[in-house]
Amino acid sequence: MTDPNQTSQPILSVRDLRVTFDTPSGDVPAVRGIDLDVFAGDALAIVGESGSGKSVTMMAMLGLLPTARVTGSARFRDTELVGLAPSKLRAVRGRKVAMVFQDPMTSLNPVLTVGRQLSLVMRAHQPGLSKKAALAKAVSLLDQVAISQPAKRVHAYPHELSGGMRQRVMIAMAISNDPEVLIADEPTTALDVTVQAQIMDLLGDLRREKQLALVLITHDLGVVAGEADRVAVMYAGRVVETGAVGALFANPGHPYTRGLLECLPRLDSRHEVQAAIPGVPASPQALPPGCPFTPRCRFAVASCSDAEPMLAPHGATRIACSVFAEPADAVTTSGAPR
């Protein structure tokens, strides 16, 4: 699946999505116009630092940010999700698009057994399902996510399970209503390294088995390289580089992506000091003029602060950078709207 663009329609299509929070200290633009496409059986990774807007994008799309102002478009097949009535959105959440959160320790209801929680979620979407059938399905779901002794564990409370098992339960819950899109919001951050690999394997297996579209929100480039087909790198609420995972790793275009890749610890290097991108992530409340990465960018030129660059081709990827984008198509400083 090198270029799904040509083979099928996207299941999930985001266009110019903007998310703004009204706070006492003024508007905070957390997401400032991003485009994303997700295809069946495809894994898209959204990469970026904390606060770059990657989680907010997905949560706003599902209407999980009641206080945010969301504009633009996010379509699931033919359904426009932005501005959809809460009851209809609820029917999409879990049934069509499911989400797995970062911290399995706090994401499960502590007062219900695993089986009860799974049943409740299934019965919320399928009112005809009997309690007995739901529990039986819960057992088979636990089996699918490779939890041993599922018939026994289905009666366990979350505190009786390890972190990795809880994340498996979260995944079981997410796939319990056979969604078409699975959004995993940093699914491995709270887990041990060995367990991380198991969870990523599980997500990959499920994706191939069920032809799920997988959206991986992460800041772990190792996870991206292992499981994703395509990558969107976000910085300060915008996509700064997007492309197939191989092309992006082989020939990163945007200085931010280059910086991220240089920060990866390498087994074969003798550097004593781990590389890092200088400075701090841009605050959405006080964005620098022009390209928001300029203050931290070692390639920045004076014109970078003039206007924010649009996405333009760079080799096999597309980048939002006026320095490195290919000049033929690049929206240069002079051409950009001021």
The span from the CA of 135 to the CA of 259, in Å, is: 48
126 is a contact residue toward other proteins (CB under 8 A): no
Burial of 276 (0-12, 13-18, 19+ CB in 10 A): exposed
Least distance (Å) between residue 189 CB and other proteins = 13
Q: Which of residues 273-332 bind other proteins (CB under 8 A)?
A: none
Q: Which of 45, 174, 191, 234 binds other proteins (CB under 8 A)?
A: 174
Q: Which of 13, 71, 177, 303 binds other proteins (CB under 8 A)?
A: 177
Q: Which of 24, 110, 265, 337 binds other proteins (CB under 8 A)?
A: 110
Q: Which of 92, 203, 244, 297 binds other proteins (CB under 8 A)?
A: 92
127 is a contact residue toward other proteins (CB under 8 A): no
Closest residue by Cα to residue 174 from 122, 100, 88, 115: 100
Q: Which of 64, 84, 195, 264 binds other proteins (CB under 8 A)?
A: 64
Q: Which of 36, 81, 99, 141 binds other proteins (CB under 8 A)?
A: 99
Least distance (Å) between residue 198 CB and other proteins = 15
Q: Exposure pattern of 198-227 as b/e (b: 16+ CB <10 Å)?
A: bbbebbeebbeebebbbbbbbbbbebbbbb
Interaction pattern, residues 152-171, with other proteins; x per rule: CB under 8 A:
x------xx---------x-
Q: Which of 15, 33, 72, 105 binds other proteins (CB under 8 A)?
A: 105
101 is a contact residue toward other proteins (CB under 8 A): yes
The span from the CA of 64 to the CA of 106, in Å, is: 17
Least distance (Å) between residue 41 CB and other proteins = 21
Q: Tokens for 232?
A: 């969107």
CB 248 within 8 A of CB 254: no
Burial of 91 (0-12, 13-18, 19+ CB in 10 A): middle
CB 258 within 8 A of CB 53: no
Range in contact with other proteins (rule: CB under 8 A) among 88-96, 212-220, 253-261, 281-289:
88-96
Walk across the sheet containing 230-235 and list its strands.
Answer: 97-100, 181-185, 213-218, 43-47, 230-235, 238-244, 317-319, 312-314
138 is a contact residue toward other proteins (CB under 8 A): no
Q: Is the dihedral of CA 80, 35, 306, 68 positive or negative?
A: positive
Q: Which of 17, 45, 121, 191 binds other proteins (CB under 8 A)?
A: 121
Site residues (CB under 8 A) for other proteins?
59, 62, 64, 90-95, 98-99, 101, 103, 105-112, 120-121, 124-125, 148-149, 152, 159-160, 170, 173-174, 176-177
